[in-house]
Every structure is written in structure tokens, then in C-alpha cells.
Amino acid sequence: MSGKAKRRDDDGASDADSEGHAPPKKSLKKDSDDDPDSITVCEISKNRRVAVRNWKGSIMVDIREFYVKDGKQLPGRKGISLTMDQWNVLRNHVEEIDKAINENS
């Protein structure tokens, strides 16, 4: 398993997971102008997005919360980057997750 060194932004201790109140938006797939190695796929809430990135030669699926500072949206510490192997496992269990949610609700 390849080690993933990540830039850690220290934005204070995180308590319970915050919940976005805005309706989720489905954005068009677009390349970030400032980062050619990143594709923002969608926003799952006001401050959370899913991106596909090239990190040191490895492609990662990044599910992360963003925060605003100095007018810029910066990646926060709350999130996780998945390798292709991990993404494949998650993708293959999507229906199982749905089933578990329905049973739990």
C-alpha cells in the first residue's frame, strides 16, 4: 500500500460532523484551472465535494470538506482520499450501503 503524505491544514479540533444545510448541487464535470491534476466531479453538500486527483503519480478519489479563507476555498482535514483499489471496493458495495441505510432508517 503506497504511503500518502498529505498537507494537513490545522483548522482547530473538529467536533461532531457538520451538516450542510444547502441543497446538494450537481455540478458539471470541469477541470480546476489552478490544478490540472484534479477534476472536481460533484458537490455533495455546500462545503463538501468529490474530486479525482493525480497525487504523486497515483490516481485518488478524494471526498473532502472545504472551508473558506481569504476568499479562497481550501481543502480541510475532514475527508479521505481513496486509492483505486479502495475505490473499487467502495463502488462495488454501493447497493449494500443503500440497503443498510434503508434498514437502519
The residue written with cell numbers 498537507 in the block is: 7
The yes or no reply on residue 7 touching other proteins (CB under 8 A) is: no
The yes or no reply on residue 67 touching other proteins (CB under 8 A) is: no
Q: Cα-flanking dihedrals φ and ψ of residue 24, to 5°?
A: -65, 140
CA distance 36 to 53: 9
Q: How far is the CB of 99 from other proteins (least distance, A)?
A: 9
**Could you tell me which residues come within 8 angstroms of residue 58 by beta carbon, excluding any fewer than 6 positions away?**
2, 83, 84
Question: Total number of residues binding other proteins (CB under 8 A)?
Answer: 49
The yes or no reply on residue 32 touching other proteins (CB under 8 A) is: no
CA distance 57 to 3: 12
The yes or no reply on residue 12 touching other proteins (CB under 8 A) is: no
| Contact positions vs other proteins (CB under 8 A) | 1, 14, 16-17, 19-20, 24, 26, 29, 37, 39, 41-45, 48, 50, 52-54, 59, 61, 63-65, 77-80, 82-87, 89-94, 96-98, 100-101, 104-105
